[in-house]
Amino acid sequence: MKQAIILAAGEGQRLRPFTVTRPKAMLSIADKPILQYVVESLAQSGIRNIVLVVGYRKEQVYDYMGSGEQFGVDITYVTQEKQLGTAHALAQAKGVAEGEFLVLPGDNLIEADAIAEFVSMKPAAVLVKRVDNPVRYGVVNIARGLVKEIVEKPKEAVSNIVNTGIYTFTAEIFNFTESMLDIPDVLNNMIAAGHSINALETDGTWLDVVYPWDILSLNDVVLRRMEASLGGTLENGVAVKGSVSVGADTVIRSNSYIAGPVVIGSGCEIGPNVCVMPATSIGDNVVISPFTEIKNSVIGNDVNVGSSCIIQDSVIARGCILQGHFTACSSQDEIRVNDSYHLVNVGAMLGEDCKVGNGVVAQPGVIVGNYCQIQPLKLIRGILPDRSQVF
């Protein structure tokens, strides 16, 4: 297997506001876009000929991935103008597909261990995995190593083996992509037409993010597996516990306490007297002022956090400016996304470039859109659309 086709055109609607400015594949987990994990896993498995099917906010992908040389791969881009489905996305790559190839979702976090065995699997094949909550996925019915049927999001799952969206195919697949929009439907049609589809089970890392708070659980999993690498400058009296990575040109000032797993990007100014607690990712060029505590959270690039803030189980997207005494405590809350209710433990989720005044308190589960402005001393809750102004 020499070629991989990665489907990275999707928006990830349920992940708004974080996917208003970027495709789902470009969401950052532990300071790296999801797509980068996929590409790096392929490079590790010796697959360097990569076709990226892009669509929604494709410039974000171009700007970050370029021609791939930075990641040791060679990238060809194909555009899917309308995001109609995975089979439709794959069909866009018909002209550049060569021989036997791998197909992967660009917006699932895939590590090399998940695909190591699968890359030599004879097409057509599906990579499957056992999960705790199969009804969110396509449940795969397997007999003697062959796929019998894939049932998307069943009411009741017959097994806990689900489709990872990772396949091997030959050009034959394109005979079936015309009539169906999604790959599982295409496979069901192929099976009905007498083709056999192999199945291989993996216990490697394959993680999907569907809702905004999933970013936190993925971040946690990835951070726990990450190796520490300390760059930058740590002033006297900084305590570093556990696995902590710090990027170049970052300064962590005296009496700060960093308890890993934590990753901090480059060019940051942290402290003095700041606590960064486990499972926290902090992007590049972030400023965190004294007496702030951050725990189990994801902070994007260029964020400025004022002094004496409490940030727990929260996602703060790129470019937010939080003034002092911002409080985002975590507790269990029921959140509605697209008519379905979810009971989760979460703090605040803020979109890009929000400005939050002094002493603002965020109710657990608040989702603030991009470019919102919140005046000092306000209490925010529920879902705020993009560009909201809270007076």
Binding residues (CB under 8 A) for other proteins: these are 52, 54, 58-59, 61-63, 65-67, 69-70, 75, 77, 249, 267, 285
> Which residue, 38 or 186, is less far from other proteins as judged by CB?
38
Q: Round to whole Å and give the CA distance between 162 and 169.
A: 19
Rounded to whole angstroms, the Cα distance separating 64 from 66 reads 6
Tell the smallest beta-carbon distance from residue 127 to other proteins (Å). Answer: 27
- The smaller minimum CB distance to other proteins, of residues 188 and 301, is found at 301
Smallest distance, other proteins to C-beta of residue 199, A: 33
Q: In this complex, which beta carbon is closest to other proteins, that of residue 74 or of residue 172?
A: 74
Work out how close the CB of 167 gets to other proteins at its nearest, in angstroms, rounded to a whole number.
23
Identify which of 39, 32, 383, 89 has the alpha carbon closest to the alpha carbon of residue 211: 383
Residue 368 CB, nearest approach to other proteins (Å): 22
Minimum CB–partner distance for residue 106 and other proteins (Å): 13
Nearer to other proteins, 61 or 131 (CB): 61
Q: Chain centroid to CA 37: how far?
A: 9
Nearer to other proteins, 73 or 209 (CB): 73
The distance of closest approach from Cβ of residue 83 to other proteins in the complex, given in angstroms and rounded to an integer, is: 16
Residue 68 Cβ vs other proteins, minimum distance, rounded to whole Å: 8
Nearest to other proteins of 54, 183 (CB atom): 54
The helix-helix angle for 34-44 and 58-65 (nearest 10°) equals: 50
Q: Tokens 């934590």 correspond to what residue?
A: 262
Provide, rounded to whole angstroms, the least separation between the CB of residue 319 and other proteins: 10
3-state SS track over the chain:
CCEEEEEECCCCHHHCCCCCCCCHHHCEECCEEHHHHHHHHHHHCCCCEEEEEECCCHHHHHHHHCCCHHHCCEEEEEECCCCCCHHHHHHCCCCCCCCCEEEEECCEEECHHHHCCHHHCCCCEEEEEECCCHHHCEEEEEECCEEEEEEECCCCCCCCEEEEEEEEECHHHHHCCCCCCCHHHHHHHHHHCCCCCEEEECCCCEEECCCCCHHHHHHHHHHHHCCCCECCEECCCCEEECCEEECCCCEECCCCEEECCEEECCCCEECCCCEECCCEEECCCCEECCCCEEECCEECCCCEECCCCEEECCEECCCCEECCCCEECCEEEEEEECCEEEEEEECEEECCCCEECCCCEECCCEEECCCCEECCCCEECCEECCCCEEC
Q: Which is nearer to other proteins, 214 or 249 (CB)?
A: 249
* 304: its two tokens: 């400025």
Closest CB to other proteins among residues 52, 240: 52
| Nearest distance from C-beta of residue 248 to other proteins, angstroms | 10
CB of 81: closest distance to other proteins in angstroms? Answer: 13
Rank residues 251 and 361 by Cβ distance to other proteins and give the closer one.
251
**Residue 348 phi, psi dihedral angles, 5° rounding:** -115, 150
Nearer to other proteins, 180 or 286 (CB): 286
CB of 66 to other proteins, least distance (A): 4
∠ CA 358-20-16 to the nearest 5 degrees?
75
Q: Which is nearer to other proteins, 50 or 87 (CB)?
A: 50
